[in-house]
Amino acid sequence: MKELIRTNDMVLISYLEHRLREEAIEPLTLDGHMSVLEGSLGVLQRRIMVAEDDYDRARGVLDGVKQERDRQA
C-alpha cells in the first residue's frame, strides 16, 4: 500500500473515495478511528492508501478531483 493523500477534509476524502471506486481502485482510509478519539478537532489527518499497482492511476484521479475543486472555488 502507498499513501495517496493525508488530509482532514472529510468532503475531499468522501468524494475521492467515490471517484477512486468509479475507476476500480479500492482505497483504504486509515486513522479514521483515531480522529474520532481525539474529539474531531481536526488535528489528526486521515490517510488514503491505495495498492502500489494502482498508485499512478489514483494520482491522476486525485489531480482531477483537485482541479474540479479549484474550478468551483
Q: What is the mean pLDDT of each run of 10 residues along the chain (73 residues)?
A: 94 96 97 63 84 98 95 85
Domain range for 17 is 2-72
Check residue 38 and give its pLDDT: 59
pLDDT for the residue numbered 32: 74
What is the rounded CA–CA span in Å between residue 33 and residue 26? 19
Q: Please tell me the total count of domains within the chain.
A: 1
pLDDT at 49: 98
Q: CA nearest 30: which of 13, 12, 11?
A: 13
Instruction: Kindly report the CATH number assigned to the domain that includes residue 52.
Output: 3.30.70.790
Q: pTM score, two decimals?
A: 0.84
Which pLDDT score is estimated for 44?
Answer: 81
